[in-house]
Structure 1
Amino acid sequence: MSDTLAPSPADSLADALRQVQGYHQRTKHHLNAYARGPETLDWDAQPSPFRRWIGADAVPLPLANAATEPDAPWSAWAQPRPAQPLDRVHLGLLFELSLALAAWKQAGPDRWAVRINPSSGNLHPTEGWLWLHGLPDTDPELCDGLYHYAPHAHALERRAAFAPLARAALGETARAWVALSSIHWREAWKYGERAFRYCQLDAGHAIGALRVAAALLGWRLVPVALPLPALAARLGLDRNADFGAAEREDADSLFELLPADAPARAGALPPERVAAWFGQPNRLDAHPMYRWPVIEEVARASAQGMPSPPPSPEMGEGADVLGVGGKAVAARVVRQRRSAQRFDARACMEAAQLWPVLAALAPERAPFDALAGAPAVQVLLFVHRVEGLAAGAYVLGRGTGALARLRGVLPAMLDWDEVPQAPAGLPLRRLADNPALAGTLRTLNCHQALGSDAMLGVALLAQWDDWCSADGLPAPHAYRQRLQEAGLIGQVLYLEAEAAGLAGTGIGCFFDDGLHQLIGLPHTASGMDAQHGAALQSVYHFTIGRRVEDGRIASEPPYAHLQAPRPAT
Structure 2
Amino acid sequence: MDRLQHELLEYHERSKHRLDHYAPGPRGLDWTNQPDPFRVFRGAPRIGLPLAADTLSTRYNELRRGALPPPRRFDLSNLAILFELSLGLSAWKAYDAQRWALRCNPSSGNLHPTESYLLCPPLSGLSAGVYHYLSRDHVFEHRAAVDDPRWTEAFSNGGVLVGISSIHWREAWKYGMRAWRYCQQDCGHVIAAVSYAAAALGWQTRLVEVAADDAVAGLLGLDRSEDFGAAEREAPDVLLWIGKPELRPDLERMLTVLDRAQWRGCANQLSLGHVTWPDIDSIHRVTHKSRTREPSLLTPNECPSPEMPAVDLSFSRIARQRRSAVNFDGVTRITAAAFFSMLACLLVRRNTPPWNALLSPAAVHAALLVHRVDDLEPGLYMLVRNPGALPILKQSMRPEWLWQKTGPDYLPLYFLLPYDLRAVAKLICCHQDIAADSCFALGMIATFDIALKQPWRYRHLFWECGVLGQALYLEAEAAGVRATGIGCFFDDEMHTLLGVEDHAWQSLYHFTVGGAVDDQRLSAFPPYQVQP
Indicate the TM-score class for this superposition, using the shorter chain for normalisation: over 0.9
Specify whether residues 86 and 49 from structure 1 end up closer, same or farther in structure 2 by C-alpha distance, changes over 3 A only.
same
Give the match for residue 161 of structure 1: 145
Among 174, 192, 197, which residue is 1:213 paired with? 197
**Residue 425 of structure 1: CA displacement?**
0.9
* Distance (whole Å) between structure 2 residues aligned to residue 163 and residue 74 of structure 1: 41
- 1:52-451 correspondence to structure 2 within 5 Å: 52-64=40-52, 66=54, 68-77=55-64, 78-133=66-121, 135-136=122-123, 138-139=124-125, 142-166=126-150, 169-170=153-154, 173=157, 175-224=159-208, 225-259=210-244, 263-265=246-248, 270-272=253-255, 273-274=257-258, 275-288=261-274, 290-307=275-292, 309-310=294-295, 312=297, 317-325=302-310, 327-364=312-349, 365-419=352-406, 422-435=407-420, 437-451=421-435
**Residue 315 of structure 1: CA displacement?**
5.6
Structure richer in helix, relative to its length: 2
Give the match for residue 525 of structure 2: 556
> Is the deviation greater in 185-194 or in 44-53?
44-53
Give the match for residue 41 of structure 1: 29
Among 17, 29, 38, which residue is 2:5 paired with? 17
* Aligned residues of 2:298 and 2:360 also touching (Cα < 8 A): no
Secondary structure (helix, strand or coil) at the match of 1:561 reads coil
**Residue 402 of structure 1: CA displacement?**
2.4
Specify whether residues 308 and 392 from structure 1 end up closer, same or farther in structure 2 by C-alpha distance, changes over 3 A only.
farther
User: Residue type of the partner of 2:466?
Assistant: G
**Residue 544 of structure 1: CA displacement?**
0.2
2:454 paired with 1:475: yes
* Distance (whole Å) between structure 2 residues aligned to residue 166 and residue 27 of structure 1: 45
* Distance (whole Å) between structure 1 residues aligned to residue 206 and residue 340 of structure 2: 28
Give the match for residue 531 of structure 1: none
* Distance (whole Å) between structure 2 residues aligned to residue 174 and residue 369 of structure 1: 17
Secondary structure (helix, strand or coil) at the match of 2:380 reads strand
**Residue 391 of structure 1: CA displacement?**
1.1
Identical columns (%) = 40
User: Residue type of the partner of 2:10?
Assistant: G
User: Residue type of the partner of 2:485?
Assistant: G
Give the match for residue 513 of structure 1: 492
Q: Runs of 5+ in structure 1 lacking a partner?
A: 1-10, 469-473, 529-534, 564-569
* Aligned residues of 1:75 and 1:326 also touching (Cα < 8 A): no
TM-score by length of 1: 0.88
Q: Note the alpha carbon deviations across 1:361-403, whole angstroms, 9 max, x for none.
A: 1123531121232211111000011111111110000123222
Specify whether residues 74 and 320 from structure 1 end up closer, same or farther in structure 2 by C-alpha distance, changes over 3 A only.
closer
* Aligned residues of 1:304 and 1:475 also touching (Cα < 8 A): no
Secondary structure (helix, strand or coil) at the match of 1:541 reads strand
* Aligned residues of 2:86 and 2:194 also touching (Cα < 8 A): yes
* Distance (whole Å) between structure 1 residues aligned to residue 495 and residue 111 of structure 2: 28
**Residue 269 of structure 1: CA displacement?**
5.2
Secondary structure (helix, strand or coil) at the match of 1:453 reads coil
Specify whether residues 171 and 333 from structure 1 end up closer, same or farther in structure 2 by C-alpha distance, changes over 3 A only.
closer
* Distance (whole Å) between structure 2 residues aligned to residue 281 and residue 297 of structure 1: 24
> Is the deviation greater in 449-458 or in 170-179?
170-179
TM-score by length of 2: 0.94
User: Residue type of the partner of 1:190?
Assistant: K
**Residue 266 of structure 1: CA displacement?**
8.0
* Aligned residues of 1:309 and 1:373 also touching (Cα < 8 A): no
* Aligned residues of 1:105 and 1:554 also touching (Cα < 8 A): yes
Give the match for residue 479 of structure 2: 500
**Residue 438 of structure 1: CA displacement?**
1.6
Q: May I ask how many residue pairs the two structures share in their alignment? A: 525
Give the match for residue 458 of structure 1: 442
Specify whether residues 27 and 307 from structure 1 end up closer, same or farther in structure 2 by C-alpha distance, changes over 3 A only.
farther
Q: Note the alpha carbon deviations across 1:309-368, whole angstroms, 9 max, x for none.
A: 356276654344313246222221111100000101122221121011100011235311
Task: Return the index of the structure with the highest Cα Rg.
Answer: 1
* Distance (whole Å) between structure 2 residues aligned to residue 316 and residue 479 of structure 1: 25
Give the match for residue 7 of structure 1: none
Specify whether residues 109 and 410 from structure 1 end up closer, same or farther in structure 2 by C-alpha distance, changes over 3 A only.
same
Among 436, 457, 467, which residue is 1:488 paired with? 467
* Aligned residues of 1:313 and 1:369 also touching (Cα < 8 A): no
* Distance (whole Å) between structure 1 residues aligned to residue 150 and residue 388 of structure 2: 48
* Distance (whole Å) between structure 1 residues aligned to residue 143 and residue 62 of structure 2: 38
* Distance (whole Å) between structure 2 residues aligned to residue 269 and residue 395 of structure 1: 43
Secondary structure (helix, strand or coil) at the match of 2:367 reads strand
* Distance (whole Å) between structure 2 residues aligned to residue 455 and residue 367 of structure 1: 24
* Aligned residues of 1:223 and 1:310 also touching (Cα < 8 A): no
> Is the deviation greater in 401-410 or in 440-449?
401-410
User: Residue type of the partner of 1:521?
Assistant: V
User: Residue type of the partner of 1:303?
Assistant: H
* Distance (whole Å) between structure 1 residues aligned to residue 286 and residue 151 of structure 2: 38
Q: Note the alpha carbon deviations across 1:66-117, whole angstroms, 9 max, x for none.
A: 4x22333424453232211111100000000100000000111111100000
Secondary structure (helix, strand or coil) at the match of 1:157 reads strand
**Residue 276 of structure 1: CA displacement?**
1.2
* Distance (whole Å) between structure 2 residues aligned to residue 85 and residue 425 of structure 1: 36
* Distance (whole Å) between structure 1 residues aligned to residue 62 and residue 165 of structure 2: 30
* Distance (whole Å) between structure 1 residues aligned to residue 311 and residue 323 of structure 2: 19
**Residue 230 of structure 1: CA displacement?**
1.7
